[in-house]
Structure 1
Amino acid sequence: MRHGTRIAAGAALLLTLTTAPAATADTGTTTHVDGQLPSGATYMMDVPANWNGTVLLFSHGYNAGPANPAQDAPDAATKPLLLQQGYALIGSSYASTGWAVTDAVPDQLATLKAFTTRFGQASRTLAWGRSYGGLVTTAIAERHPDEIDGSLSMCGLVHGGVANWNNTLDPVFALKTLLGSDVPLVDLPTQEAATTAANTLTAKVDSAQSTPEGRARIALAAALHNIPVWNAPTQTRPAATDWDAQQANQYDAVKGLLKIAAFNRRQEAEVRAGGNMSWNTGVDYARLLAESSVRKEVTELYKKAGLSLTKDLAALNRAPRITANPAAVAWTSSTSSFTGKLTKPQLTIHTIGDPLVPVQTESALKRAVTAAGSGPLLRQAYVDNAGHCTFSPAEQLAALHALEDRLTTGTWRGTDPASLNTRATAADPTTPTRYVRYHPTPYLRPYDLAHPADRR
């Protein structure tokens, strides 16, 4: 059955209770509930005895499977702090793993319905999520605003599905073209074929890393995805002009992109969409590099290698292009691209050193929200750390409290870095507080429903 049919069934799901009896455990301070939805998704709920009336609907990130557990909090360290402060926590597993937005949204709303039936109407409902769960959260915020009071996306794919897959295509297209490979980048028939393609291109990258020319070309590919030069907490933060150290850090992230998203996750998403949903026809790679956050590093490494950047960019622009399947684009656009229309407040937070979902995705969201006239409802904040979703409990609690303050007062206040750090320290003085003033560069391949004539 095509997964898109779950959207049409969403209203019916909301009127239906669980198909299996919920299991309840009471510790004296928290009531824990496990249950199952008609879709087959499981859910979990944790309600403290001192419930403050607010329920937090948590959407988890991408799960490749086969295990598919429910999750109602971002991490084990943050969860007890939330319960101590009186929040009710709920979340589902989604009925399927992978790019499961057409399952995730109705399953999350059905979980909220099950909570209300069991515990009563919350005085305030907040949707929040991390990574892919940020996309799910933003979909709920746009398409089901009457179900929530506000939303918080953390390190989210708030640029939407089409933009995500277009920008994931660009670095592998550059690697294939410049390193000399014939691996298929799209229309991957099976997970096995995707793994073979990923391994083949990774071997090319490993070989290229041993030469100055190869390292410059890997840096160019990284720049087309805005991969930051400090992108994992285990890395040393390189100096501003230490181009070699910067590239070495990006090399690790490029290999991670090949292993995680560029092939296997793409293949799974293509199956759902019914074909390839991304393209690079009409893309000027010289222009993309000019807008990249790390273009200076690329130019310096090309100079050091004695390699012509102009010639390599021309080679990319001459290379045979990839066209999308229109029906697959339409499916991805309708299920996981955004209009930018908000009717309830949304706060987003992002680490500045995220290699998997680059911080520039926040620029894409702001672009759509501004075009839709919803700018006053959006605030964005940034954490000075490397890695994907590497927030401390204190930083997550500070964002949550800032959103609540907006709902209580009707005005955004205390979302500047100093105020957020103060909130974070007050919420949890034992973990880091690293909010900073930051303005991400433009997202390189934006696609949203607020710009109907702009299909970059």
Structure 2
Amino acid sequence: MFLRIAAFGLLLAGVPAVAQTVKTEVGVAAGAEYRIDIPANWNHSLVVFYHGYALGPTRFHFYQKPGGATLPFLDRGYAVIQSGFSTWGWAIPQALSETETLRKQFVKDHGLPKETYVSGQSMGGALTMMTIERNPEPYNGALNMCGAVLPTNEWAQRRFALVAAFEYYFPGLLPDLAPAPVNFVESDALKAKLLAALKADPAKAAIMQRLTALYRDEDVAHLMQYVIYQISDFSRKSGGDPVDNANWIYTGTGSPEEDFRLNDGVKRFTADPKARAWMIRNYTATGKLTKPMLALHTVYDTLIPATSLAEYSERVSETGSVDLFTQQYVDHAGHCAFTNDEIGRAFDELVGWVHGGPKPKGGKLP
């Protein structure tokens, strides 16, 4: 059942090309809030947009103007739909089914779009990948932005191993890792404590920077808190501890001798098999593409390393889908730190490709 509130004449904020109005519709479907934006110059095509990993419920209000990464699509005349998902955190199963339900409802209410694209950021990038791999039929192409595209269990294992290393170098600052902390909440106080410890021991802080491939103590402190929250989230949803470092061999501390010390001294944890199986089910990339996909990443992403896209590209090559995938980058530091202009340019490249133009070149976004 769909409950709706519609508003007309909202000024589209932040659009440099032309001031225009947008029809906005919000509501609840199957326990998930949703938002639909249709610009006055609607070209009768659609962008299905997935938001990223959220630390709390995503709410939509009809009086809020469109914003963020959806503006470039609206500026180009595309309608945009997005589900808030019925749960927060790692919401892959809910997000896929609830967004597909919303897309079908949009078609029922507004007619079949001329073209439909899928896009998203961070976890939304993982959902973009999963959608175009598993349900490509409704879509013409995909724009993945800063996506967590490796299988969930792979990148979650890596992050857990880094937290265990932090606990080795800076003991007693983080919650116990096993069993996973229940209902952990990030706080400025804990981040300040982690940052102070890093600043007080530059040698160990430098090791953690090398292990995490991060350049600032502030980024290391933020990542540690963020990963603890994710571990708590995964544990609640899987019913156990889904990640471990039992078979992890640490390298990259800066010297072989330090690698030896870390591997000998770090505490080892073992995952629960059923919880691990839950994580594997909730997004394992296949790399099999049947529609064009353009991926966009910042060079320095503090949460999802750009190197993960290169690994996904290898999976695409193995399936023979290499002609349908291009990875581009922008020179920014930060997670999903794109400008609206950059998002728009990347989308234009994707649409041109779909319309028979040349495949966008890998490398820097033109």
TM-score (ref. length: structure 2): 0.88
2:219 corresponds to: 253
The structural deviation recorded for 1:48 is 2.2
1:279 corresponds to: 244
Deviations 1:353-400 (A, max 9, x none): 111112122122112222222222110000101111110111000111
Are the equivalent residues in 2 in contact too, given 1:158–1:365 (CA < 8 A)?
Answer: yes
Are the equivalent residues in 2 in contact too, given 1:171–1:222 (CA < 8 A)?
Answer: no
Q: Aligned match of 2:24 in 19, 32, 45?
A: 32
Q: Aligned match of 1:187 in 179, 200, 206?
A: 179
What's the secondary structure of 2:282's corresponding residue? helix
Q: How does 1:273-422 map to 2 (within 5 A)?
A: 273-286=238-251, 289=252, 299=254, 309-318=255-264, 319-409=266-356, 411-413=358-360, 417=364, 420-421=365-366
2:16 corresponds to: none
- Structure 2: any 5+ residue segments left out of the alignment? 10-19
Q: Aligned match of 1:264 in 229, 237, 247?
A: 229
- Cα distance change, pair 66–404 in 1 and its aligned pair in 2 (3 A): closer
How far apart in 2 are the matches of 1:199 and 1:50?
47
How far apart in 2 are the matches of 1:130 and 1:404?
18
| 1:206 equivalenced with 2:187 (yes/no) | no
How far apart in 1 are the matches of 2:344 and 2:58?
28
Q: Aligned match of 1:100 in 87, 91, 95?
A: 91
Are the equivalent residues in 2 in contact too, given 1:45–1:88 (CA < 8 A)?
Answer: yes
What's the secondary structure of 1:56's corresponding residue? strand
The percent of aligned pairs where both chains have the same amino acid is: 28
| 1:215 equivalenced with 2:161 (yes/no) | no
What's the secondary structure of 1:53's corresponding residue? coil
How far apart in 1 are the matches of 2:296 and 2:65?
14
1:51 corresponds to: 42
- Cα distance change, pair 219–147 in 1 and its aligned pair in 2 (3 A): farther
- Structure 1: any 5+ residue segments left out of the alignment? 1-17, 230-249, 290-297, 300-308, 422-456
What's the secondary structure of 2:306's corresponding residue? coil
1:451 corresponds to: none
The structural deviation recorded for 1:134 is 0.6
Letter in 2 for 1:315: R
How far apart in 2 are the matches of 1:312 and 1:90?
50
Are the equivalent residues in 2 in contact too, given 1:226–1:360 (CA < 8 A)?
Answer: no
How far apart in 1 are the matches of 2:59 and 2:155?
23
The structural deviation recorded for 1:352 is 0.8
Letter in 2 for 1:317: N
Deviations 1:262-294 (A, max 9, x none): 2122201211122222222232212xx2xxxxx
How far apart in 2 are the matches of 1:103 and 1:333?
16
Q: Number of aligned pairs?
A: 353
Are the equivalent residues in 2 in contact too, given 1:45–1:89 (CA < 8 A)?
Answer: yes
Letter in 1 for 2:209: A
| 1:19 equivalenced with 2:2 (yes/no) | yes
Letter in 2 for 1:209: K
Letter in 1 for 2:240: G
Deviations 1:122-175 (A, max 9, x none): 111100001111111111111111122211111111113112211211221112
Bigger share in strand: 2
What's the secondary structure of 1:151's corresponding residue? strand
How far apart in 2 are the matches of 1:70 and 1:97?
18
Deviations 1:195-244 (A, max 9, x none): 69x9779746523422xxx32322222332322x2xxxxxxxxxxxxxxx
1:238 corresponds to: none
What's the secondary structure of 2:89's corresponding residue? coil
Letter in 2 for 1:96: T
Bigger share in helix: 1
Are the equivalent residues in 2 in contact too, given 1:150–1:346 (CA < 8 A)?
Answer: yes
| 1:119 equivalenced with 2:113 (yes/no) | no
What's the secondary structure of 1:152's corresponding residue? strand
What's the secondary structure of 1:62's corresponding residue? coil
How far apart in 1 are the matches of 2:244 and 2:334?
27
Are the equivalent residues in 1 in contact too, given 2:39–2:74 (CA < 8 A)?
Answer: yes
How far apart in 2 are the matches of 1:188 and 1:209?
27
- Cα distance change, pair 263–179 in 1 and its aligned pair in 2 (3 A): same
How far apart in 2 are the matches of 1:209 and 1:127?
42
- Cα distance change, pair 269–144 in 1 and its aligned pair in 2 (3 A): same
Letter in 1 for 2:227: A
- Cα distance change, pair 349–114 in 1 and its aligned pair in 2 (3 A): same
Letter in 1 for 2:261: A
Are the equivalent residues in 1 in contact too, given 2:243–2:276 (CA < 8 A)?
Answer: yes
2:211 corresponds to: 224
How far apart in 2 are the matches of 1:80 and 1:201?
32
Letter in 2 for 1:385: H
The structural deviation recorded for 1:113 is 0.7
Deviations 1:18-39 (A, max 9, x none): 332x2222329432221221x2
- Cα distance change, pair 23–208 in 1 and its aligned pair in 2 (3 A): closer
What's the secondary structure of 2:212's corresponding residue? coil
- Cα distance change, pair 220–84 in 1 and its aligned pair in 2 (3 A): same
How far apart in 2 are the matches of 1:81 and 1:155?
16
How far apart in 2 are the matches of 1:367 and 1:74?
40
